[in-house]
Amino acid sequence: MNRLTIIGNLTRDPEQRTTPSGSTVCSFTVAVNRRNRRDAQGGQPEADFFRVSAWNQLGENCAKFLAKGRKVAVVGPVSVHTYQGNDGQTRASLEVMANDVEFLSSRGEAESDGGYAAPAASAPAQEPVSAGFTAVETDELPF
């Protein structure tokens, strides 16, 4: 069984294209931090980078709602591709063909990044709520 689950952040905005047969494919790279490992220079967490391809409707949704820095979970089979770098060394790249992509960034993060914001629902006006909680007088508590 070849099934990989990764959770990480996009390193750049997704790129969407259409194949000659009319299929849509969206490509992006996800950086996954390694736990408890820091590099020597800046103390930044070490990361592994996975190229991801999402096809058809899933790819269209990724292109529409994802952007650089957003957190995602990706599930799908992984393959290794080798290539010659500009310096002549052989390098390897991990590519995941996404079967499922879960958008993990909250709406607040999305709105502050200038990305997707759900349309405002026309609901009756309510008192302002702080972080999803409603203020309650202590006299109203049953204990």
Tens digit of each residue's pLDDT (9 = 90 or more) over 47-92:
899 999 999 999 999 999 999 999 999 999 999 989 899 999 999 8
Whether the CB-CB separation of 39 and 26 falls below 8 Å is answered with no
Q: What is d(CA 17, CA 51) in angstroms, rounded to the nearest whole number?
A: 15
Question: DSSP 3-state assignment of 99?
Answer: coil
Residue 62 domain-assigned? yes
110-122 pLDDT per residue, tens: 444 444 333 333 3
Residue 32 domain-assigned? yes
What CATH number is given to the structural domain containing 16? 2.40.50.140
Prediction pTM value = 0.68
Residue 136 domain-assigned? no
Residue 64 domain-assigned? yes
Q: How many CA atoms lie within 13 A of 23 on its CB side?
A: 9
Domain tally, the chain: 1
